[in-house]
């Protein structure tokens, strides 16, 4: 166990790193982040910041040398950087696991080998293999770049001749996988942690509503049966154990109308759909991540109150100022802003957590705020 006073290093300095730094510092740890931006969300809260890109091995080595243990807030870190860090300090999750998850194809193959149900997919490298894959998986289908995707970036839904042309253009730039389109009833995620000594703890399952492929709102607990919730937790446990994962992870699922679950993807880190845990649960996902990597006992994952989390995207800032008085005057609402200098359409600027047992009322409030 690394007691408070030790230094937690984090690769990445966005909002996930910021909330990790907030929680870790509250617990008495020192924090240091690596990020390309000088005054980013985490840099404003860490004890130290090293400015460097996610492919800068020298910068990462400096971070590792000043850290007791290292973790990350984004999986888009170059493998040589992860390996260099791991050669110097414990890195959780480790470079080998991250290498598998970074690439959608190797992530899918890993899910195959663990034996959990996930979306049908095919590897595609050129126009000919795309045609073969489309014939097998049918249309509509979704072409996704194997690497570096987030918030739906690097994806094309193929449903007609025009989108097929766009898909071919995407494929020309980067290797991809094709996924069958899933006519899901809802999307859910399981936020969970696995400690160094193999203990596993999951939070109550969350339900996610996306708009334009970006998470709009999360409802906790998800409006699903107890059996579906148990299945999602068991699949998440199988993945964490199958990978030998240490740290905080999120598994995204599609729920079909008959209750069948399909894994969409694994995030080897804290997750936007787990923000409700900070404010609604006994232990936040960020404290849990710190506990995992520092070798502390896992915290309780009890949900104290039903919650709705709504993302505040840069669009809210574009033609007006957000209605702060209204937002801050809401009972049982907690505002989180990430300290980003510039608002852009689709950029996550903050979120609002609405606590209370009336989920429908919270959802209505969320829709009034983010129209």
Decide: is 150 part of the binding site for ligand ATP (CB under 6 A).
yes
Task: Among 25, 168, 213, 216, indicate the residue that binds ligand ATP (CB under 6 A).
Answer: 213
Query: Smaller CB distance to Mg ion: residue 45 or 203?
Result: 203
Phi-psi bin for 57: left (phi > 0), alpha (psi -120 to 50), beta?
alpha
With beta carbons less than 8 A apart as the criterion, state whether 201 and 217 touch: no
- When asked if residue 147 is in the footprint of ligand ATP (CB under 6 A), the reply is no
How many angstroms from the chain centroid is the CA of residue 270? 5
Q: Which stretch binds ligand ATP (CB under 6 A): 49-57, 107-115, 142-150, 197-205?
A: 142-150
CA distance 76 to 356: 36
Q: Which does 213 bind (CB under 5 to 8 A by kind): ligand ATP, Mg ion, none?
A: ligand ATP
Q: For the chain, where are the E strands, in sequence order?
A: 7-11, 30-35, 48-51, 69-72, 121-124, 141-145, 155-158, 176-180, 186-194, 200-202, 206-211, 214-220, 247-255, 261-267, 307-313, 333-337, 348-355
Query: 294 and 288 in contact (C-beta within 8 Å)?
Result: no
Give which of ligand ATP, Mg ion, none residue 317 binds (C-beta under 5 to 8 Å, depending on kind): none
Instruction: Rank residues 56 and 252 by Cβ distance to Mg ion and give the closer one.
Output: 252
* Member of 23, 56, 75, 179 binding ligand ATP (CB under 6 A): 179
Query: β-pairing, 206-211 with 186-194?
Result: antiparallel
Residue pair 126/270 in contact (Cβ under 8 Å)? The answer is no
How far is the first Cα of the chain from the last one, in angstroms, to the nearest whole number?
A: 47
- Does 4 participate in binding ligand ATP (rule CB under 6 A)? no
Look at residue 207 and give the partner it binds from ligand ATP, Mg ion, none, a contact being a CB closer than 5 to 8 Å depending on partner kind. Answer: none
Sole window of 141-149, 232-240, 307-315, 352-360 interacting with ligand ATP (rule: CB under 6 A):
141-149
Segment 240 to 259, residues that bind Mg ion, using CB under 5 A: 252
Q: Could you tell me the smallest distance in angstroms from the CB atom of residue 135 to ligand ATP?
A: 17
Which position among 4, 36, 99, 152 is part of the footprint of ligand ATP (CB under 6 A)? Answer: 152
Give the nearer residue to ligand ATP in terms of CB position, either 207 or 265: 265
Least gap, CB of 258 to Mg ion (angstroms): 22
Contact 353, 218 (CB under 8 A): no
Footprint of ligand ATP (CB under 6 A): 119, 142, 144, 149-153, 179, 181-182, 187, 210, 213, 252, 264-265
Footprint of Mg ion (CB under 5 A): 252
């Amino acid at each position: 166990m690394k007691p408070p006073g030790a230094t937690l290093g984090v690769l990445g300095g966005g909002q996930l790193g910021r909330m990790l730094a907030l929680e870790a510092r509250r617990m008495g740890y020192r924090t240091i982040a690596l990020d390309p931006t000088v005054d980013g969300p985490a840099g404003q809260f860490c004890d130290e910041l090293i400015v460097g890109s996610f492919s800068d091995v020298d910068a990462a080595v400096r971070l590792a040398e000043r850290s007791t243990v290292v973790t990350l807030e984004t999986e888009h870190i170059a493998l040589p950087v992860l390996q260099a860090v791991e050669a110097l300090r414990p890195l959780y999750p480790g470079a080998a696991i991250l290498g598998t998850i970074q690439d959608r194809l190797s992530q899918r193959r890993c899910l195959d080998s663990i034996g959990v149900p996930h979306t049908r997919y095919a590897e595609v490298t050129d126009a000919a293999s795309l045609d073969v894959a489309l014939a097998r998986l049918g249309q509509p289908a979704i072409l996704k770049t194997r690497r570096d995707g987030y918030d739906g970036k690097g994806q094309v839904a193929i449903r007609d001749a025009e989108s097929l042309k766009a898909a071919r253009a995407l494929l020309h730039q980067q290797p991809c996988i094709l996924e069958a389109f899933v006519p899901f009833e809802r999307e859910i995620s399981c936020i969970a942690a696995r400690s160094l000594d193999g203990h596993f703890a999951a939070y109550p399952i969350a339900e996610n509503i996306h708009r334009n492929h970006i998470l709009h709102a999360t409802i906790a607990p998800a409006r699903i049966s107890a059996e579906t919730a148990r299945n999602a937790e068991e699949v998440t446990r199988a993945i964490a154990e199958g990978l030998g994962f240490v740290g905080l992870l999120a598994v995204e699922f599609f729920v079909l109308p008959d209750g069948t679950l399909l894994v969409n993807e694994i995030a080897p880190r804290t997750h936007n759909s787990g923000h409700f845990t900070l404010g609604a649960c006994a232990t936040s996902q960020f404290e849990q991540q710190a506990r995992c990597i520092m070798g502390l006992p896992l915290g309780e994952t009890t949900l104290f109150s039903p919650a709705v989390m709504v993302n505040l995207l840069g669009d809210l800032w574009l033609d007006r100022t957000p209605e702060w008085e209204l937002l801050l005057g809401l009972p049982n609402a907690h505002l989180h802003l990430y300290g980003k200098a510039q608002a852009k359409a689709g950029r996550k600027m903050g979120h609002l957590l609405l606590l209370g047992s009336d989920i429908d009322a919270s959802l209505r409030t969320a829709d009034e705020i983010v129209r």
